[in-house]
Structure 1
């Protein structure tokens, strides 16, 4: 009986550990079932002790009391399943616990597999993510998000094309990537196991750079060249999918080709009215009332229902209307219109996108009150360079957000200093 209780405890501690991540993992009996399907009891006991930031495996071995070779085997098994990231750098093995998203949800469903009960997992993830809004509001709360909309370059007026920055162009992200991985769309793959997937291309998830190389090495992605990736992009556009990319300017890590019926980000907008779940592009759809004949093609094409049909000045004629506060600026509607009745216009204010993944994660952590969780799992390993980067982000933050972030930082440093002092006292 004690063994059962301890096993349950390990899973509960793992859930609490995952909930400290920036995107969260709120408790639910359904989520506990997901963890039990994914993590063996011994894996859960190890995983809940893995840092939210990279930690040397040798150090984790000392923390867990498990022989390093045995621990390495457990980590390898979890990495193949997509539950942790592991890699080697300058002869040292590192590991970090994957969040739920973007993390082990995607890595579980990015490929066809027989080592997990995919149908059961699909049903449980669907219930956890969509039965109520707790998980979605944890992931997508505040203003800095994981993904941003890319405007379709071909939807822009010729005169404005030069204003699009490189990191705003899907084609540039692909052609500039040092490595490209192609995977199954995790959201549509999940939907196939629920017998409700749409007809959109399944092999459509693109990853880039180091992330692509890691996924390729674990069998979660296949390597493709820029030419093949551009062809896939073109096919996805033809299918009416919108492009959502990593919300960073430098070293973009992923690009999704999303449908409104399966995509978790778009479902958060459509199902729970979390309008900021995806960062908009710097463009807006503008309806030309003289050319619009109210056919409704743009209404069907819009992935977030930002366009509706309303009565026009002409009798017995409908008119397309775009609600600018909802428009993501993807340009899908522009290409769906057969009469040239939609054009993309610049937003009044340039959309702010974090420069790097580190910047994005720090900004998200500040907004969600989790900066100390993200930075100080091991305060002694935070470099001066990283601290300087955090300080610069704090300086650019609103005063209230900066104050919220500074307090836990100070308390964590004091706790770390006290622990260090006790070390010397105990000698």
Structure 2
């Protein structure tokens, strides 16, 4: 670190800390500018010492050398800005450092505000996320992702609808939620500060349960009723938006209503050809060629450009690339001639059961299991165990071992069980 000037040091250390997160935060001078706008030097010093797993403010106070009351106030300020998660558990205040996504990028733009230079941040985020593919490839590498597409239920054949599981239905996700929060779409809000937002509705981001409670408390979401959220869902479908939800089966945390032009996940697919950036539904569009008139409405409606027109014998015909199709059903709604149906995929899509399962799977795939399990750099035991785990998980024999699905499944189950016990201790 000797080559880093003092003014940069805390921000470089914070960037390195954020990069240990499962979704990463690769170095860029642009990213350092973002951090400087969001974190004061004192906040950066505190933030870089917050573990990736929940830690009590009391433990963090001992680690940083600050008085607990003073630290608590600083944590509250950072939480209000959306830079950390803070919550009460068993009578104690806890905190977690927010990743870039899904994290402080969304929390900055989920509401209107005048305490931050929103236009300048929008330009910097745009440059950091899309000037090259480093950030996108960090976030969306491998197979397990943060978000999954939901199929529009009305697009499913009547005979197959009974086969759709509850967690595949947007309606069930909403109707089973204990709390619903409604926020601005962070992606379209950011785009509005760049003068290039589309005409889609802006207040469309839904959060659920504990996450919604936290965002409502911090003023980042407003509480919505189940019926209001269902009305919004129908409005978003009519606007041609695709529903992308938390990639878990139980306790779904969020549902975005995404456009193909502003959404960061969809832009990763279209800009950098990261086709697995959004997990597909268990359905794919099928176009009946002899009914198609080549009007192009489905081409225009598809959020990921999976449909194109090909020259037929007498007229253009719409053709769908099933390997790119999200299985969202937006094209079904766009077609006015009944040419499109949603067919079940031959291979079922694997969706993690819980957030914990998803995080462990993502950590293993990205070679960051050691960061996830042993992420307290102040303890020698954690550093030693972390190094050992890092060597093991990145070795070629282990990667080959993990490629065998039955073994991988058993390994994940064992790791998850062990990690849960470790976390409880």
Select which of 354, 367, 370 maps to 1:369: 367
Q: Would you say the 8 A contact 1:52–1:377 is kept in 2?
A: yes
> 2:76 & 2:253 partners in 1: Cα distance?
23
What stretches of structure 1 of length at least 5 have no aligned partner?
382-393, 417-427
How far apart in 1 are the matches of 2:136 and 2:77?
Answer: 29
Structure 2: distance between partners of 1:114 and 1:145: 33
Cα shift at 1:371: 0.6
Write out per-residue CA displacement over residues 95-150 of structure 1, whole angstroms, 9 at most, x where no aligned residue.
Answer: 00000000000000000000000000000000000111100000000000000000
Quickly say closer, same or farther: Cα 1:61–1:167, change in 2 above 3 A.
same
Say which SS state the counterpart of residue 32 (structure 2) adopts.
helix
Q: Secondary structure at the match of 2:326?
A: coil
For residues 247-288 of structure 1, give each alpha carbon's deviation from its aligned partner in whole angstroms, at most 9, with x where no partner exists: 000000000000010000000000110000000000010010
Segments ≥4 residues shifted beyond 4 Å: 378-381, 399-403
Instruction: Give the deviation of 1:335 after TM superposition.
Output: 1.0
Alignment of 1:239 onto 2:244: no
SS in 2 for 1:79: helix
Contact 1:284 1:347 in 2 (8 A): yes
Shift of residue 372 of structure 1? 0.8
Partner of 1:224: 224
TM superposition shift of 1:306 = 0.5
- Distance, in Å, in 2 between the alignment partners of 1:200 and 1:113 is 21
Contact 1:22 1:364 in 2 (8 A): yes
| Inter-partner Cα distance in structure 1 for 2:178 and 2:47 | 31
- Within a 5 Å distance, the mapping from 1:114-263 to structure 2 comes to 114-263=114-263
Q: Which residue in 1 is equivalent to 2:394?
A: none
2:110 & 2:24 partners in 1: Cα distance? 21
In 2, the alpha carbon distance for the partners of 1:182 and 1:232 equals: 10
Aligned to 2:349: 351
Q: Paired residue for 2:387?
A: none
Residues in 2 aligned to 1:99 and 1:367: alpha-carbon distance in whole angstroms: 18
**Secondary structure, counterpart of 1:182 in structure 2:** strand
CA separation in 1, counterparts of 2:325 and 2:193?
A: 31
Deviation for aligned residue 1:377 = 1.8
1:397 to partner: Cα distance: 5.1
- Is 2:296 aligned against 1:291? no
Would you say 1:40 and 2:25 are equivalent positions?
no
**Distance in 2 between residues matched to 1:311 and 1:117, nearest whole Å:** 49
**Aligned equivalents of 1:300 and 1:375: distance in 2?**
45
Report the TM-score, using the length of structure 1 for normalisation: 0.88
1:306 aligns with 2:311: no
Q: What's the CA shift for 1:399? A: 4.3
1:57 aligns with 2:63: no
SS in 1 for 2:159: helix
Contact 1:366 1:402 in 2 (8 A): no
Q: 1:158 to 1:399 in 2, by over 3 A?
A: closer
Q: Does 25-34 or 155-164 show the bigger shift? A: 155-164
| 1:151-186 CA-partner distances (Å, limit 9, x unpaired) | 000111111111111000000000000100000000
Q: 1:330 aligns with which of 314, 328, 331?
A: 328
Q: 1:280 maps to what in 2? A: 280
Q: By how many angstroms is 1:307 displaced?
A: 0.4
Work out whether residues 30 and 124 of structure 1, in 8 Å CA contact, stay in contact via their aligned partners in 2.
Answer: yes
Task: Name the SS of the counterpart of 2:343 in structure 1.
Answer: strand
**Do the aligned partners of residues 153 and 88 (structure 1) sit closer, same or farther apart at CA in structure 2, a change above 3 Å counting?**
same
Residue 93 (structure 1) aligned with residue 93 (structure 2): yes
TM-superposed deviation, 1:349: 1.1
CA RMSD of aligned residues (A): 2.2
Q: String of CA shifts for 1:73-99, please: whole Å, max 9, x gaps.
A: 110000000000001111111000000
For residues 222 and 147 of structure 1, the distance between their equivalents in structure 2, rounded to whole angstroms, comes to 22
Q: 1:74 maps to which residue? A: 74
CA distance in 1, matches of 2:95, 2:51: 8
5+ residue gaps, structure 2: 383-398
Distance 2:284 2:270 in 1: 19
Q: Supply the distance in 2 between the matched residues of 1:359 and 1:341 (Cα, whole angstroms).
A: 39
> C-alpha separation between the residues in 2 aligned to 1:377 and 1:88?
21
